[in-house]
Amino acid sequence: MKLTATRGAIAAVALSLSAIAASAQENPECIAPANPGGGWDFTCRQVGKSLQDQGLIDQTMQVVNLAGGGGGVAFAEVVNKRSDDDDLIVAASSATATRLAQGAYPGNTMDQVRWLASVGADYGVIAVAADSEIETLPELLDQIKADPTSVSIAGGSAVGGWDHLKVLIAADAYGVEDVRKVKYIAFDGGGEAVTQLLAGSVQGFTGDISEAKGFVDSGDIRVIAILAPERLGGEFAEFPTAREQGIDAIGANWRGFYAPGGMSDEAYDAWVSKIGELYASDAWKEVMAANGLAPLDLQGDAFQGFVEDSVARIQSISKEIGIIK
């Protein structure tokens, strides 16, 4: 009798776990807090497709682009209107942590949502149009040193955001005396920023390697520096690092997801499990290699702690370079 009861209990747990798994995939939706073509859009679409290809969700992931405020519009939407949605995840990155660190989402803080998991890290790049006369990062920064008003750099994060900070970190490392004079123009997503570069409205682009890759492949832009400790492998090996050009600047943009703060524990655990399983798969390793993503394997509480540390570190950097007081 005891054995039968135990088997019955195990079966009940198995059914319960199946129900939990299903609960987070009935109408799976991912919000990309920017226009199509940028890093958040890439994160939603690639992870959504891969989850379905791996059989981890039964339905196609609906991707909704909700641009504005460097991710602030999407954050407010989730906190204020969809706080208990078990089917919703939102693409996030170092840009999200940066805006939260600087208090740029008015009235919102990182503890109003639940942080799910990372899916890799994306090194920053500084690029120019393919036909630009600028060949190296020192050449670009020399122009900024000589006349800060002569060079505009476009990025897909808001002023003071992660894309902006990457340029300031490089400029500071090169000895630009007042990095606040560097002209940065914000757009809602890397795709829009590259469009402005190609139109000749700006002279440089700052973003991440995953969002730049398509434009490099099409021959539209040329990467003059990748903000990695050393050159990446494979098809990215041709991109010179800032370090090898004498500029000690490193910028890694983590990529991951947050969920509504009121999401049930069951749905949260299911999403954490699904993303963790996806990350561990050979198929995801291939996606990472193809898109220049570096390893960053964090889920649940470990990811929550990582984001907390990121926010604290970025607050410190931002104060150092005068973005916040």
Tell me the per-residue pLDDT of 227-253, one tens digit each, with 9 for 90 and over.
998 898 888 899 999 999 999 998 888
Residue ranges and CATH numbers for the domains of the chain are: 23-122+253-320 (3.40.190.150), 123-252 (3.40.190.10)
* 191, pLDDT greater than 90: no
Residue 170, pLDDT score: 94
The pLDDT of 49-54, averaged and rounded, is 96
The model carries a pTM of 0.75
For 60, phi then psi, to 5°, come to -65, 135
The DSSP-derived string for 12-69 is HHHHHHHHHHHHTTSS-EEEESS-TTSHHHHHHHHHHHHHHHTTS-SSPPEEEE---G
Percent of the chain with pLDDT over 90: 71
The pLDDT of 110-117, averaged and rounded, is 98
* 19, pLDDT greater than 50: no
Among 39-53, 75-89, 293-307, 309-323, the least confident range: 309-323
Residue 281, pLDDT score: 97
Residue 210, pLDDT score: 81
pLDDT in tens, 270-287: 999 999 999 999 999 999
pLDDT in tens, 282-323: 999 999 988 888 889 999 999 999 999 899 888 888 887 788
* 1, pLDDT greater than 50: no
The pLDDT of 83-104, averaged and rounded, is 94
* 99, pLDDT greater than 80: yes
Residue 49 to residues 46, 55, 62, 240, 258, Cα–Cα distance (Å): 5, 10, 10, 31, 18
Residue 160, pLDDT score: 84
Q: Are 291 and 45 in contact (CB under 8 A)?
A: no
* 263, pLDDT greater than 80: yes
The DSSP-derived string for 101-165 is HTT-STT--GGGEEEEEEEEEEEEEEEEETT-S--SHHHHHHHHHH-GGG-EEEESS-TTSHHHH
Indicate the pLDDT class of residue 162, thresholds 50, 70 and 90: confident
* 10, pLDDT greater than 50: no
Indicate the pLDDT class of residue 25, thresholds 50, 70 and 90: low
Mean pLDDT, rounded, of the chain: 90
Q: Are 90 and 31 in contact (CB under 8 A)?
A: yes
The residue among 179 and 17 whose pLDDT is bigger is 179
Indicate the pLDDT class of residue 3, thresholds 50, 70 and 90: very low
Write down the residue that tokens 């003071």 correspond to: 160
The pLDDT of 111-135, averaged and rounded, is 96
pLDDT in tens, 55-72: 999 999 999 999 999 899
